[in-house]
Structure 1
Amino acid sequence: MTSFVVKAECKQIFEGLGTLVDVGGGNGSLSRIISEAFPGIKCTVLDLPHVVANLPEADNFKYIAGDMFQFIPPADTFLFKLVFHGLGDEDGLKILKKRREAIASNGERGKVIIIDIVINAEEDEHELTETKFLLDIVLSVNSTGKERTESEWAKLFFDAGFSHYKITPIFGMRSLIEISIQKKFKSICDYLAAIKKPVEDVDKQWQLARGLGPDLRTLKVAMLGNPPYRQFGPFILQGSKS
């Protein structure tokens, strides 16, 4: 099932990536599926020495023994499957800040992929929500970890310096979350949406126009001169007067 989901549903997520590090990836079952489905990706699994010792490798698939709190190899993409729900916010923030620095040093090209549980009581079925809350209780009793709502995930990402995230419910109880560095205004809109205070589309358009500065006139001419965009006419004209 996981193999089918990765190939059929995650093509646009993994296709085109060059290198991927599966942090805390255990025996690498997920990374092996990714490396086989997308041979162009060089996958590395990072986990403790006793976990990865003597496991078979391939041309585009290898293991590195290490502690994720001490060292994570450089890559285009960092994958964390069911890692963060076992960590408190303080430890999670430390790891994400380091990944943010790594991506920034690579010209802001790259992203973090998290496969984990997202509590969504408004959209999930009642039984599913109860199960997620039960897991949260178990984690709180046995570790510093926790299950998080979307707003809690968003706060963690933005506190670490990331500016964009996308959540895709795809693995049963688990979701695939992509986080990256994008434009500041978009990050603000995403954060406000996560805390249920979304920015209206007209306000997004207005801020976009204001940010264009001298290029606003060029946009105005282009949009008013093409019939499909005439509905933006009043907005563009208003923006050009400010």
Structure 2
Amino acid sequence: MNKVYGSAAEAVADIPDGASLAVGGFGLSGVPAVLIDALLAQGTAALRVVSNNCGVDDRGLGVLLAAGRITRVTGSYVGENKEFARQYLAGELEVELTPQGTLAERLRAGGAGIPAFYTPAGVGTQVADGGLPWRYAPGGASRPESGGRAVAIASPPKETREFHGRSYVLEHGITTDFAFVRAVRGDRHGNLVFRRAAANFNPLAAMAGRITVAEVEHLVEPGELQPDEVHLPGIYVQRMVELTPAEAAGKQIEKRTVRI
């Protein structure tokens, strides 16, 4: 039952090229940056990532993106990452943009063994009708066709159905080969506690991964966490990495706002 690995490098060592990876975090809050850095150092490439956003240019998933290690992103927000936008518009990266709530539910559904569900979000738009650019042709942003961009891959139309006089679109649950999450506390059995807003997509990403790796700021012994404290039960977590004090404190702020 002891799921703790000696290092982040050991915990990610068997992740192959081409793997799919769900990653928790929102902006820079709750991002499993130590695991991401270990995967970068390992050299794994052609990753298919599912995450709300792709970090920023020099932090989180942004470091894998800048190194050319990611080929596809399923997410809901481009955010502050200029390299993400550049690669997408240049036809170097495939991007499936999906409504944020839908993405959350797709991850939860996949982890719960639910293959698909209906939602009203996106009905009457390209989310349901198809035609969203998933990948532009190389140099697509500078081409005159299709409003200045040539689309190489577009989203397909989705099934819609009416319930009680309202239209809904069918969305599929998401499962991935691996998942990375960050928690403030966890025990050796994999039970996790998240701190406030840092929970965000972390529990959902953990559920969706077939093999979930958690980095924790404070590792405790089994029994120290009270059952009603646990946000994510250890059944969803296969590997744990205890962060050093420096790693645990190494948190960045995406945007700093001050008042004079």
The TM-score with structure 2 as length reference comes to 0.27
More strand by share: 2
The TM-score with structure 1 as length reference comes to 0.28
Rg larger in structure: 1
More helix by share: 1
